[in-house]
Amino acid sequence: MLKQDKRQNITTKLFLFGTLIFLVLSSVHSSREKFVKIFLPNGTSITAELAITEAERQRGLMFREALLPDQGMLFVFEEEDIYYIWMKNMKFSIDILWLDKEKRIVHIEKKVPSCKKEPCPSYYSKTPSMYVLELRAGSAEENKLKLHDRLDFILPIKSQIR
């Protein structure tokens, strides 16, 4: 009876330990999937937070205090279309890049100011895009980004909406 209790106790502990490891690894994996490394043509890399769901895209960078030079936000859409961006509840200026499905820049808005009072203006590309990348104001100039430049990134599998 004592040996069976000991075995059951060890089995229970191993199960709990395995469950704990699984949960830790799952949370690390899923938090990594919220970010993507974007490589610019000049070799600079940006760590961009992904905005994939409608709620994430609507919130964007609202209420954030700042972006570091190597940070951004990548809005991922299901198909190429005309997408509008506004600066409501933003606390700082940004550069906005619209990218087509080939990840080529189709439009750039530089140093877009935060919206001080409503109605807030909307910014958009006349050329359909699939991604919109928001960067710290001045990043497009600093990195000499221009129309038709291709950015490189690989979306996590769960993020690839197609």
Which residue has better confidence, 67 or 158? 67
Residue 130, domain member (yes or no):
yes
Residue 70, domain member (yes or no):
yes
Same domain, 89 and 52: yes
Identify which of 88, 78, 87 has the alpha carbon closest to the alpha carbon of residue 128. 78
Residue 161, domain member (yes or no):
no
Same domain, 105 and 125: yes
Q: Other C-beta atoms within 10 Å of 37: how many?
A: 12
Same domain, 27 and 72: no
Residue 63, domain member (yes or no):
yes
CA 115 vs. chain centroid, Å, equals: 22
Report DSSP state, residue 114. Answer: P
Q: Give me the domain span that covers residue 23.
A: 1-33
The CATH number linked to 47 is: 2.60.120.1140
Write out pLDDT tens, residues 12-58. Answer: 554 434 433 333 333 333 444 799 999 999 999 999 999 999 999 99
pLDDT of residue 157: 76
Contact 46, 40 (CB under 8 A): yes
Same domain, 39 and 96: yes
